[in-house]
Structure 1
Amino acid sequence: MTPLPDDLLRRVHERAPAHDRDGSFPHEDLAELRAAGYLAALVPTAMGGGGATIEQVAREQMRLSSAAPATALAVNMHLVWTAVARTLHDRGDASLDLVLRGAADGELFAFGVSEPGNDLVLFGSTVRAETADDGSVAYTGLKTPVSLGPVWTRLGTFGLDEADPAGPRIVWAFLDRATPGVEVVEDWDVLGQRATRSDSVRLDGAVAPAERVVRRLPPGPNADPLVFGVFVCFEVLLAAVYAGIAHRAVELAAEAARRRTSLRLGGAARSDDPLVRRRVASAALLDDGLDAQVLGLARDLDERVDHGPRWFAKASGLKVRVTETARAVVDEAVQVAGGSGYASTSELSRLYRDVLAGAFNPSSHDSALTTIATAVLGPPAG
């Protein structure tokens, strides 16, 4: 794929402060990314897309996030669905080719997974799914948060069908935005990542036609390729976004160190202060390991490396390490910038608020440790 042009990223960066201040969606950013072919980057060339690998897109997501984290995180949710579809397609599973064809045709996919009170995430649901005789499925319940609120056209989601003759089933499908019973609730008013416009979606008997129903799975952990794709692609591309925040924080720390002067040093730049140099070096040391982790696991996904059941542990561990490291990097950068970094107009202030969101994106630290313990030690007795 062709990397995103530097001048496009510069314009995205210039618009980011206003979107953060107003809590407005970056329509201009999306239009430029669409025109650059970025929204179909992961679609195979034979299907009208860019033919990019997940590793290539992860690298570009870092660059986009360094320019505007909220824009990158919003677009990330669409890219996750195309990454899942591409992962399945490359392994001979065409069940999500409808996503690849849709992305090539200009559809924008939202990631309707999270639900209030559902700490089982992919393995349970508070949303009710009711299957009709023709195979269509009606969904009722709340999905929140759902990024791309003002602009998404299709919602990839799931709910629990308790009436299936074979036993309860988690039913995955894709809904059109214009479907009766789909309501976008404009309720996104948060501390950081404001421009993602991750508004809730209320479903009230919203029907997905049979041809858009892609899985019926028993509740609980399982190794279905769709679950694998959703879990791993989400964690890898999410980690790329937060790595981009860390990269930018190091740049801003270095700029602040060179810009600020010290009376204690006779008016010299703070970049000559051993304590400041240590902080900048500490931030850079932490940041320096992120690319290898993110891009390495993305490459494994592209190359179909067989990590077996360790895939889930590796993906959740990656997300936790990267988001927590990015937060530590931003902390160091804010210390270097001093009081100016605390101003509401400071880019570092925005990055500080944006990086905090990583703690709320799955997997959480605790759930990642549970997943990793199971992979290393096996399931607990009893």
Structure 2
Amino acid sequence: MSIDATAFAPRPAAPPAPGAPGWVPSRPARPAHVIADDAEAIAVAKSLAPLFARDARERDLERRLPFEEVDVFSQSGLWGITIPREYGGAGVSQRTLARVFVELASGDASLTQIAQNSFEIIDVIRRTGSEEQKRELFGLVLAGYRLGNAFSEFKGKNVEDFSTRIVRRGDHYVVSGEKFYSTGALFAHLVPIIALDEEGHVVVAVAERDAPGLKVIDDWSGIGQRTTASGTVRIEEVVIPASRLLPAHIVYENPSAVGPQSQLLQAAIDAGIAKGALAATIDFVRNQARPWIDSGQEKATEDPYTIAAIGDLAIRLHAAEALLDRAGEQIDATLRDINLDSIALAKVATAEAKVLTTDIALLATSKLFELGGTRASLAHHGLDRLWRDARTHTLHDPVRWKYHAVGQFYLNGVHPPLHSWI
């Protein structure tokens, strides 16, 4: 009898399960689709929104991270739509980008947010990268590689207080620090890290996701946006080639539209949550809610106060979407002619949109329960996800300061601050 000696050989360890310690996403098996123009970007977003929505309730209830859905998302080509045409992208407008995010977030705001920070880095690459860096990094994104986020820190006195440092060692750089709110990092192939160099300038170091010393920890515990994996990134002596260092301070220390560009996507996600909540409210009122006894009606859809409330929500949502379009158009105009006055116009327009998108997101997700009645609160419907997502995501930057900035501009002619948070 012959014996197969290989049967006694040590078996290779199974790869970590997605999201487990040590797991990194595999490289794209095939190149991503490349979107041609604004119209196709919106059409692709509309086609993905129902797919995003399909299992969103279950993902939220189980806190099951959307690994397969993120692959579909990046393979659709939507992650590369702002890459300039001369580098192979569609170069879509900011107005279109916002509309794409509204559509996607109406299906699942958590899944949509995972891509958000990639667009800020794409703009940093466009504004500060060398020709070689643009061709390499834009080419990777268009091929389906995902850029993550290691920007914010938990322990600083404010959002721009960074302790992460990068130093030069020979022909390369070494970065160390700790980040939080790192939406997208767990799913990324490349993790851009914001750090201060030896001269105190803000730089972006683009690390490989599997770089030694880079550890992404799935410890996000927010009550909403539960499947974004917006947790910790630990950076311990991570080596960065000189070719992957971007002088981001050129953008952050000089007048630019990076603030309103980032804020526009925050507002678009909130508008998308509101859009999804209004659709869920209409569906629930039509199919499950009961009319109040004093209405004398047979159906909830005939209750006059319910009808009026739906009308109010629709009007407020459409107003928010109109201001979002207006803000996108102003940012597009600012990007064509960047100066202090045009930047101020972009910041104010985006702040106005952010106020209304915040208001309608919180109102629509609350009215969903009021108009649906007690049965809308039953856990198996999972409708609380929408309110929790709205409440969590709208905390990103306080709208009370938006009112102040808008009032200062119109009353006293004061431009908003030049930092990235307005």
After TM superposition, the score normalised by the length of structure 2 is 0.77
Alignment-mate amino acid for residue 79 of structure 1:
F
Cα shift at 1:323:
2.1
Number of the residue aligned with 1:277: 307
Higher Rg: 2
Looking at structure 1, the residues matched to 362 and 248 of structure 2 have their Cα atoms a distance apart, in angstroms, of: 38
- Please say if 1:125 is aligned against 2:162: yes
Aligned partner (choices 329, 335, 347) of residue 364 of structure 2: 329
Cα shift at 1:30:
1.9
CA RMSD of aligned residues (A): 3.0
Number of the residue aligned with 1:160: 196
**Conserved 8 A contact 2:405-2:416:** no
**Conserved 8 A contact 2:74-2:145:** no
Number of the residue aligned with 1:237: 265
Aligned partner (choices 113, 138, 147) of residue 151 of structure 2: 113
Cα deviation, 1:213-269, whole Å, max 9, x if unaligned, reads: 2116399x73254xx42x222111121111111112222222233332334344511
Cα shift at 1:144:
0.8
Number of the residue aligned with 2:25: none
- Please say if 1:179 is aligned against 2:211: yes
Cα deviation, 1:67-115, whole Å, max 9, x if unaligned, reads: 11111111223234335545x39xx986972542221132211122111
Alignment-mate amino acid for residue 163 of structure 2:
T
Aligned partner (choices 87, 104, 115) of residue 47 of structure 1: 87
Looking at structure 1, the residues matched to 344 and 102 of structure 2 have their Cα atoms a distance apart, in angstroms, of: 27
Cα deviation, 1:99-132, whole Å, max 9, x if unaligned, reads: 422211322111221111335434x312223233
Aligned partner (choices 97, 108, 113) of residue 57 of structure 1: 97
Looking at structure 2, the residues matched to 137 and 224 of structure 1 have their Cα atoms a distance apart, in angstroms, of: 28
Number of the residue aligned with 2:19: none
Count of residues in Structure 1 that have an aligned counterpart in Structure 2: 366
Looking at structure 1, the residues matched to 132 and 162 of structure 2 have their Cα atoms a distance apart, in angstroms, of: 22
Alignment-mate amino acid for residue 322 of structure 1:
T
Any residues of structure 2 matched to 1:182-261 within 5 Å, and which?
Answer: 182-215=214-247, 217=249, 222-225=253-256, 228-229=257-258, 231-259=259-287, 260-261=289-290
Task: For residue 4 of structure 1, give the secondary structure of its aligned residue in structure 2.
Answer: helix
Alignment-mate amino acid for residue 320 of structure 2:
L
User: Measured at CA, do residues 29 and 212 of structure 1 come closer, stay the same or move farther in structure 2, by a change above 3 Å?
Assistant: same
User: Measured at CA, do residues 378 and 289 of structure 1 come closer, stay the same or move farther in structure 2, by a change above 3 Å?
Assistant: closer
Alignment-mate amino acid for residue 213 of structure 2:
G
After TM superposition, the score normalised by the length of structure 1 is 0.84
Alignment-mate amino acid for residue 218 of structure 2:
E
Any residues of structure 2 matched to 1:296-335 within 5 Å, and which?
Answer: 296-303=326-333, 304=336, 306=338, 307-335=342-370
**Conserved 8 A contact 1:84-1:233:** no
Gaps of 5+ in 1: none
Looking at structure 2, the residues matched to 305 and 379 of structure 1 have their Cα atoms a distance apart, in angstroms, of: 18
Task: For residue 171 of structure 1, give the secondary structure of its aligned residue in structure 2.
Answer: strand
User: Measured at CA, do residues 332 and 144 of structure 1 come closer, stay the same or move farther in structure 2, by a change above 3 Å?
Assistant: same
User: Measured at CA, do residues 284 and 379 of structure 1 come closer, stay the same or move farther in structure 2, by a change above 3 Å?
Assistant: closer
User: Measured at CA, do residues 355 and 183 of structure 1 come closer, stay the same or move farther in structure 2, by a change above 3 Å?
Assistant: same
User: Measured at CA, do residues 210 and 84 of structure 1 come closer, stay the same or move farther in structure 2, by a change above 3 Å?
Assistant: closer
| Same amino acid, percent of matched pairs | 20
Number of the residue aligned with 1:23: 63
**Conserved 8 A contact 1:139-1:207:** yes
**Conserved 8 A contact 1:25-1:150:** no
